[in-house]
Amino acid sequence: MTTNGPVQSTDVSDLSFLSKPIGDLFGDLPVNPDDYSRCLLSEDQISFYKANGYLTQVRVLTDEQCNRLLDEYKKFLLWNDNNNNNNNTNTNQNLYGKNDSHRLDFPEKNLLYEYHSNQSNDPNNVVTHMLGHWRISPLFHDLIFMPTITVPVSQLLAAFHPSKQLFVPVQFWHDQLFAKPPYHGGQVAWHQDYSYWTRTEPMQHISVHIALDDQTEENGTIHYVPGSHLWHRIENGQEVPLPITDMDFSDMESIKKILTEEEMTKFQPLPSLLKRGHASFHHPLTIHGSYSNRTSSPRRAAVLNYFVEGTRSNTDEPLLHGIPKIARGEPLNSRFFPLVFDPKWM
């Protein structure tokens, strides 16, 4: 995806210097192992994830935590309910663009890895999308450390890990916000996440999609294609993800152009219908996407991406825009990829 200008900061206001919760969202990390055990997934949930490549309706936030995050969300939006609660999108032609973090009204905006007030650049199909807000917002900073999220992540990453352990140490990869305004909220085209992440290896990643509003088929809930976590291609004798077919979310069905006949037969997306405060977890090869929001309310979500400790750089370029390079083959050990869960804590 496209990126903005360089990020340069050593200021303490850059929250990446703090590799533990600040305490604003849920307090400190537990010291009692039993507090982690309360966050465990069941064997049935893990089995479903292994078979289908995703798991939905896991409660990770309270209503109060959702409300606080939604209030914080507003600082990252160039639209609001007042200028979107109408069907006349012509009045909003100039509100949306790409690579426009300079229009945000706070000095730490330069810490964002990416900011698109509208990824599609189409005022009739608006998706606000950003990366890196954990470095700016104490609430979103603490979200990445929440045991209700990181414990299930460790279990699900372990389910596909060659170590065959029940848990693995987890590092944070990066965060995302996806927001669809009322009436003209846009779509996110079908894709596999690891198609964008081959700059890291091996593939031992997971994504967590957290609904901050109730998601319905009408407002653009995330959909998953069951079993698609097994779909890949072979290049130079190696398994690789499907190619990226749409960078701007404009062509919802573009991935179908590169699917095999068998894959097309099995391409049967199911809506997650997430309730607010609930999350879905998905494998890095699971095909997913979401349709437009044409309701009178916004649809806002937070996405957290993680990988198993020991994941390495597969490039000599910066892994995220503006952060120091990590040489190809070196593990991602820096403050930008903090350890968020260690089985030793249980």
Cβ proximity of 132 and 114 under 8 Å: yes
- 9, part of any domain: no
Tell me which residue of 244, 266, 270 sits closest to 257, measured CA to CA: 244
- 93, part of any domain: no
Which 3 state secondary structure label does DSSP give 306?
Answer: strand
Query: What percentage of residues in the chain have a pLDDT greater than 70?
Result: 92
- 272, part of any domain: yes
**Residue 258: how many other CB atoms lie within 10 Å:** 12
pLDDT at site 138: 97
| Residue 203 structural domain | 36-77+107-317+326-345
Average pLDDT, rounded, for the chain: 92
User: Does 90 score more than 50 pLDDT?
Assistant: no
Indicate the pLDDT class of residue 334, thresholds 50, 70 and 90: very high
User: Does 81 score more than 60 pLDDT?
Assistant: no
Name the H helices within 166-266: 261-266
- 62, part of any domain: yes
Residue range 235-273, pLDDT digits in tens: 999 999 999 999 888 899 999 999 999 999 999 999 999
pLDDT at site 79: 86
Indicate the pLDDT class of residue 3, thresholds 50, 70 and 90: very low
pLDDT at site 4: 39
- 82, part of any domain: no
pLDDT at site 6: 36
Most confident of 9-23, 98-112, 172-186: 172-186
- 4, part of any domain: no
Please compute the mean of the pLDDT values over residues 21-50 and round it to a whole number: 96
Please compute the mean of the pLDDT values over residues 203-208 and round it to a whole number: 98
Cβ proximity of 192 and 287 under 8 Å: yes
pLDDT at site 95: 57
- 286, part of any domain: yes
For residue 289, the domain's CATH number is 2.60.120.620
Q: What share of the chain is helix, strand, coil (3-state, %, to 5)?
A: 25, 20, 55
**CA–CA distance, 305 with 311 (Å, rounded to integer):** 13
Residue range 291-325, pLDDT digits in tens: 999 999 999 999 999 999 999 999 999 999 999 99
User: Does 127 score more than 70 pLDDT?
Assistant: yes
User: Does 12 score more than 70 pLDDT?
Assistant: no
pLDDT at site 9: 40
State the pTM of this model.
0.93
Q: How many domains does the chain have?
A: 1
Cβ proximity of 79 and 126 under 8 Å: yes
- 101, part of any domain: no
